[in-house]
Amino acid sequence: MARLKEYRKDLFLILGVLIGAGLIAGAFALAKKPGAYVRVEQDGKLLGVYALSEDRREVFPDKDGADGNVLVIEGGTVHMETASCPDKLCVKQGTKSQVGDTIVCLPHRLAATVIGAEEAEGLLP
Amino acid sequence: MKPKKLMTEAMLCALALILSYVESLFPLSVAVPGIKMGLPNLVIVFALYRLGAGSAARISLVRVAVVALLFGNVYSFLYSLAGAAFSLLLMVLLRKVRGFHTAGVSVGGAVMHNIAQVAVAMVILGTEKIIYYLPALLVSGVVSGIVIGLLAGLMIRRIGNVNKLSS
C-alpha cells in the first residue's frame, strides 16, 4: 500500500474529476424534462424547428448536394437515420426526446437540439 | 538550438504523428464524439519530462499542424490546437507541483483537452448544449489519462536521458 500512498495527489485529482463529472451529470439528469420541438443548426445558423408531435423525415444535404444527414422524428422522439460522414457518430447517438438532448455531427457541423415549447416560440414562423 | 536536440524533437514528432495515425485507424465507436485513446500524449508527456516544456510545445504544435494538413480541415485544426494547447499548459503546471506523477499529469492533460474541445465545439456549432457530453468525456479522459500516464512513466524511467540516446 506504500506505493499507492505515493500516488496520493494523482488519486485526489482523479477522484476530483470523477466527482465533478458525476455532479454535472446529476445536475443535467435532474433538469431533464420532455421536449416539444427539435431545433437544427449548422455553423450556429438556424436551419429549422420541427415539432416532435408530428412524424417526419428531414433531409439536410451536404455541400455536394448529396443526402448529408437524414433526421427522423417518430413517436415523439428524434434520431439521425443516416449520415454521409465516415464516423456516423450522430447515428450512434441514438434516440432523443428530453429538453437539452443534442445530436451532433461534427464533420458537417450540424446540431439537432431538443427544446421546450417556450424556447421554440420565438423561433417558429 | 543544438542539432541533437532538434533531431530528437523531430524524431519524437514523427512518433507522435504515427501514433495520431494509429489512433485514427481504431476509432472508438461510442455515441459521444471526441472520445479517444490519446496515444500521441504518450510522446508529449515523455518530451515534457525529458526535454522540457518548450520541446513538448514545439512537438505538439507541429503534430497538430501536420495532422490537420494530412487528414483534417480548418475545423479539426481548431479543435486539436485548442485541446493540445490547454492540455499542455495544465500538464506543465501540474508537473511543477510536488507529489504529482506522470499519471496525474496525464489525467490533467487529457481532461483539459476534452474541456477545451467541448468549449471550441460550443463556439463553432453555436450551441451550448454540447456541454451535455462533458461528463462522459471527463470519465473517458480520466481512463485514457491514467493508462497513457502510467505508460509514459515507464518510458521515462526506462529510456533515461534522451540527449544521450544517439551518442
What per-residue confidence (pLDDT) applies to B90? 97
- A·B CB contacts under 8 A: 97
Task: Compare all CA atoms of chain B with the CA of A18 and give the residue at the minimum distance.
Answer: B139
Query: Chain B, 13-42: which have a CB under 8 Å from a chain A CB?
Result: 27, 29-33
- For residue B167, is pLDDT > 50? no
Q: What ipTM was reported for this prediction?
A: 0.83
> Sheet holding A102-105: strands in order across?
A45-51, A37-42, A110-115, A102-105
Distance in angstroms (rounded) separating the CA atoms of residues A80 and A110: 11
Alpha carbons B112 and B66: distance in angstroms, whole number: 22
pLDDT tier, B154 (very low <50, low <70, confident <90, very high otherwise):
very high
Question: For position A2, what pLDDT does the model report?
Answer: 57
Fold adopted by A37-121: mini-chromosome maintenance (MCM) complex, domain 2 (2.60.320)
Question: Phi and psi (nearest 5°) for A82?
Answer: -140, 165
Task: Provide the 3-class DSSP secondary structure of residue B118.
Answer: helix
> B130 and chain A: CB distance < 8 Å anywhere?
yes
CB contacts of B146 in chain A (<8 Å) are 14
Q: B159, B43 in Cβ contact below 8 A? A: no
The answer to whether B74 contacts chain A (CB < 8 Å) is no
In three-state secondary structure terms, A113 is: strand
What CA dihedral angle connects B99, B157, B61 and B108, to 10 degrees? -30
Distance from CA of B10 to the nearest CA of A (A): 30
Domain ranges within chain A, ordered by starting residue: 1-31, 37-121
pLDDT of residue A125: 66
Distance between CA atoms of residues A88 and B29, nearest Å: 9
Domains of chain B by range and CATH?
Answer: 3-26+33-164 (1.10.1760.20)
- Distance (Å, whole) CA B52 – CA A32: 46
Task: Tell me the per-residue pLDDT of B54-97, one tens digit each, with 9 for 90 and over.
Answer: 999 999 999 999 999 988 888 889 989 999 999 999 999 999 99
Residues of chain A with pLDDT under 50: none
Give per-residue pLDDT as tens, B99-138. Answer: 899 999 999 999 999 999 999 988 888 777 788 889 999 9
Q: How far apart are alpha carbons A118 and A50 in whole angstroms?
A: 14
